[in-house]
Chain A
Amino acid sequence: MTSLIVGVLLVVGGAMLGIALDRALLQRWIRNRDPQRRHRAPGGGAHRRRQSARRVIEDAERRMESAEAGQVSAETAASRVEASLDALEAGLVLCDRDGRVVAHNTAATQFLQARHGEALVTRVIKELLEQARSGEQATTRVELHAEPRRSYEVRAGPVERGGEMLGAIALVHDITEHDRIESVRRDFVANVSHELKTPIGALSLLADSLAADTDPEVAARLAGRMQIEIQRVANTIDDLLTLAMLEDESGRADERVDIGAVVAAASDRISETAELRDVKVVVSMPADLAPIRGSRLHLESAVFNLLDNAIKFSDPGERVDVQVETDRDTLTLSVTDEGIGIPAAEQSRIFERFYRVDRARSRSTGGTGLGLSIVRHVALNHGGEVSVTSREGLGAQFNLELPLDNGD
C-alpha cells in the first residue's frame, strides 16, 4: 500500500514538477553522459586491461554512490511532493483499488473530518471516487446554502499505470470566489445595458410620439417626460465618469481634509431631498477631528452618496443618523437608517456597479445604481473600506472607515 501511495504521489508530483523542470538542465545532463561513453572505446594490451579494471571499480563505486544518492533523492522527492501537495489550495484525496482512502493533503482534511455543510462534500468525494475506480472521469458541483455560503467543484479520475488500475484520485476546488466574480461580470453586462437602454428606449418612443402629435399641451407633457429621461442618462454618465476617474486615481488630491466640513457640506446638499421625502438627517460628531489625507471632493461625494442611499430607502417620518467616531488611527463614519434593510444574501453585492436589490423600486427612487460603488472606490483610494450591516425591516448601517492623518 505504501508503494502505491509513493507511486501515485510521484506520478502526480512528477507531473507538477515536470512543468517547473528546466529543459536546459536535462540537456546538460545528457551532454555530461556522452564523454563517459567515448572513454570506453580507446586503449589496448595490459595497460588497457588495468585501465579497464580500474574503470570497472570506478564505475561500480560511481554506481553505488548514485544508487545511494538516488535513494536519498527519492526520499527527498517524496517529501517534497508531499509538501507541495499540502501547499495546494485544492483538496486532494487518493484511494486504492478497493476504495480505501490511502492519502490526502491538508486541504482535504476539512472535508474528510467535516461535520456541518462540508459533510455533503465528503459524500460527493466518496461517490465520485467510486465512479472513478470503474474507470470514468467525473465532475460534480456542490453548493452549500447555509451561511457562510460556499461552492465546491469535485473532480475524480482513475489512477492507472501501464494499464494497471492503482486507484482513484479526487480533487476538490473551492469555486466560491470564482462563481462570485463570474456573476459580477455577467450581471454587470446585463445591468449596464439595462441602465443605458431603458432611458434611450423611452426617449425614442417619446420622440416618436412628439413627432406625430400636434397638440401643444401633449407636446409639452412629452417634452417634460423627455427631460426626465435625459436627466437620468446624464446622471448615469456623470456617475460613470466619476467612477472612471476614481479608478484611475489620477484625480486623487493629497490635501488635509477636515471631515467635519465634508459631512456638513454633504448633508447640506442632501437637505432638500430629505425634506421632500420627510426624512430627518441627524448628525453627531466630536468637535475637533484629526484630518484625513486625500481628496475633499471625493470624500464629500462618498458621504453624499451614503446619505442619498439611506434617504432613498427610508419611509417618510423615519430618521437617518450620521455619526463620526475616531480611535487612535481610524475614523469611522456611520450612516444608519430605519428603512427596509438589505437581505443578507445581497449585502456583499450592493457595492457592485449597477447592482440593484430591487429593480422595480430603484426605478421609482431614481438612482443610477452607481452610488455605493463610488463610495467603495473613494474608501479604497483613501486606504479605508466601507461595510454594511443590516437586517431586513430594521434598516441598515453603513460604516466608512478611513485612516487618520496623524502627521507621520
Chain B
Amino acid sequence: MTEQTRKGFHAEIDEISDLIVQLAARAGDAVARATDALLKYDLVEAQQIIDDDDYIDVAAIEVEEKCQSLLALQQPMAGDLRQILAAMWITGELERTGGLACNICKGARRMFRTELPPRLRGLIAEMNEEAIRLIRLSVDSYSERDAALASALHDIDDRLDSLHRTFVKTLLESSRTHDLDVQPSMQLALIARYYERIGDHAVNISDRVRYMVSGVMPWRAGLARHRVRDELRTHELAADPAEMSSDSDDKAD
C-alpha cells in the first residue's frame, strides 16, 4: 500500500503501459526469431525460442498482477478502469502471440529435414513481415491511444489473410510438384495458420484499444447480431407457434 500511494495511480498505469510495450516487443521478436529458425532449419534456436517463451509468460503475469492490485486497491472508474481492463486483455493476446511463435518452432521441429520449396519460403517470409507489421501497428494504436488506427487494423489484416490463402493454394500445388510428404505439408498448413492467428491477435488488441479510448466494444458485434436474430425469431414464433417444434429439431442435429 505504501508503494501504491507513493508512486501515484497514474504513474502505475504508465508503468503498465510501458510493460505492455516491452511485452509486445518480446512477442514480436519471438515471431521474427521463429521465422528465422524455420527458414534456416535451426533446431537449436527453435528450442531456445521455446525456452525463452517463459520470459514472455512471466512478463505477462507481472502485468496481470499489477492490474489486479490496481483494481483491488484503487477501484478505478470510467477511463481509468477501461485502461486497466484493456491492459489485462491485451496482455493475454500478446502472451498467445508468443505461444504461437513457439508453435511455429515446434512445427519446424516436426518437419525437420524437409527442404522447403522456394515459393513457400518466400510466402513464409512475407507472412512473417505482415504479422510483425500488424503487431507494431496495434502497439502504435495502443501507445498513441489512436482509435482510428485501431479501427483500420481489421482492413489491414486482410493482406495477411490473403497471403494465408495463397500459401495454402501454393502448398497444395507444391505437394504435387515438389513431392512434399503428408507430415511436412500438414505442418506447413498449420504454420501458415499460426501466422494468420498472430494477425488476428493484433486485431484483437486493436479492438481493446478502441474500447480503452472510446468505450465501444467491437467484439460485441456478434452478441448484438445474436440478440437481433433472437428478437426476430420470437416475433416469428409468436406469429406462427407451429415453427417451434421444427426449430428444436434443427438444433438437435
Contact = CB atoms under 8 A, between A and B. Distances in A.
A106 interface: no
B119 A394 contact: yes
A341 B29 contact: no
A120 B55 CA distance: 12
Contact of A343 (B24, B26, B125, B136): B125
Contacts of A345: 36, 39
A341 B122 contact: yes
B61 interface: no
B118 A340 contact: yes
Contact of B122 (A114, A118, A393): A393
Interface string A228-243: 0000000000000000
Given A115-B139, A118-B25, A146 B121 contact: no
Contact of A391 (B32, B117, B122, B140): B122
Nearest to A142: B29
A48 to B, nearest CB: 66
Given A115-B21, A345-B36, A393-B119, A146 B29 contact: yes
Interface residues of B, number: 28
Interface of B: 18, 21-22, 24-26, 28-29, 31-33, 36, 39, 117-123, 125-126, 129, 132, 136, 139-140, 143
Q: Interface of chain A, helix or strand or loop or mixed?
A: loop
A123 B129 CA distance: 24
B39 A343 contact: yes
B117 A393 contact: yes
A228 B121 CA distance: 34
21 contacts: A114-B25, A115-B139, A116-B24, A116-B25, A116-B139, A118-B25, A119-B21, A119-B25, A120-B29, A122-B18, A145-B33, A145-B36, A146-B28, A147-B129, A341-B122, A343-B39, A343-B121, A343-B125, A391-B122, A392-B118, A394-B122
Nearest to A313: B118
Contacts of A116: 24-25, 28, 136, 139
Contact of A393 (B22, B123, B139): B123
Contact of A117 (B25, B36, B117): B25
B125 A392 contact: yes
Contacts of B21: 114-115, 119
B33 A391 contact: no
A123 B59 CA distance: 11
A324 B117 CA distance: 31
Residue in A145, A340, A391 whose Cβ sees the most chain B Cβ within 10 Å: A145
Given A115-B25, A122-B18, A392-B121, 4 more contacts: A123-B25, A146-B29, A146-B31, A391-B125
B29 A344 contact: no
A145 B105 CA distance: 15
A195 B154 CA distance: 51
A406 to B, nearest CB: 40
A345 B120 CA distance: 16
